[in-house]
Amino acid sequence: MIGAELHPGSSEMDPEAKWDLEVGSIIEMLNKIDPLALNVTVSVTGDYVNEIAGNAMYKLYVTSVGSRYNHELAVYGMTAGEELGPMAYGDQYSRLMEAKRLVESAYICDGRTILVKGLVPQSFSTSETTLRILERIGVEYAAGYQVGLIYLPGHENESWPYPIEGYDLYAVPISSIEHDGELVPLSDQYSKEVLNLSGGEWYDLLVGEFEEARRKGEPMVLIFDNVITGGDEGYMDAFKRFVDFSTSQGASFVSTEELVEMARSKAAEA
């Protein structure tokens, strides 16, 4: 997954530098993925869609991203750093509805519409209230879980998407890996801001989890954030190297929506 959000301090940035960080970084990542015809989920915050840097409208870029058939658009919350979990129903509902409306408003001119199927919550923060709202507004999956770290009862070590009991929703776990004896999620933001890893060390984590997932026959689900990977040359290099490595090993890239469908088919065959 690629996450698209606004940098907390970008309102004070020069418009060109702001565009390069928040949009140019995604262009650079997708320019690595698209020529290889790899599928990807791009999750977008609601306020990102409405942003303007100088004369450049972000909504037009989101529309461009959504126009490609190898791209799935999902909701990344309403704002960067948002924590839905502790919020009351009304606050969550208004934020999720508005974020979904904004992402879906970036419709495609050739008649193709964007239907948001998933939520990638900021800070992995959700609650039972979130699930009720997602079901109500027609979202089909929530990627607010982490293998062995944040999970629903009975699914501690589940790496495949799984149905959420009592809801017409799927939970999508982000992959995790051991680092210095501690289980950590495969998120560039966690790697950089919590673990303080260099781009090279982040790349080593990615390759390590790839080998483990391949050995177990499990999916590998991870998040690259535009502000994190786009703001650090070492992390951007790690992203590109990992795409090269994984494709050289015959990996299949699927959108999150496709992964959920694969999990449904897998469960039906069991």
**CATH number of the domain that 11 lies in?**
3.20.20.370
Helix boundaries (H) for 110-167: 128-136
pLDDT digits (tens, 9 = 90+) for 37-85: 999 999 999 999 999 988 789 999 999 999 899 999 999 999 999 999 9
> Which stretches of 221-260 are assigned E, i.e. beta strand?
224-225
Higher pLDDT pick, 107 / 32: 32
Average pLDDT for 14-34? 96
Average pLDDT for 91-107? 94
pTM beyond 0.75: yes
Query: Across the chain, which distance is largest between two alpha carbons, in Å?
Result: 55
Quote the number of domains for the chain.
Answer: 1
Predicted confidence (pLDDT) at residue 270 exceeds the cutoff of 80: no
Q: CB count, 10 Å around CB of 112?
A: 11
Round to whole Å and give the CA distance between 262 and 88: 33
Instruction: Give residues with Cβ within 8 angstroms of 197, minimum separation 6.
Output: 191, 205
145 and 151 Cβ atoms separated by less than 8 Å: yes
Element holding 190 (H helix, E strand):
helix 188-193
Query: 142 has which bridge partners?
Result: 119, 171
Average pLDDT for 8-16? 89
pLDDT digits (tens, 9 = 90+) for 186-243: 999 999 999 999 999 999 999 999 999 999 999 999 999 999 999 999 999 999 999 9
Instruction: Give residues with Cβ within 8 angstroms of 189, minimum separation 6.
Output: 223, 225, 228
> How high does pLDDT run on average in the chain?
95
Domain extent, residue 56, equals 2-269
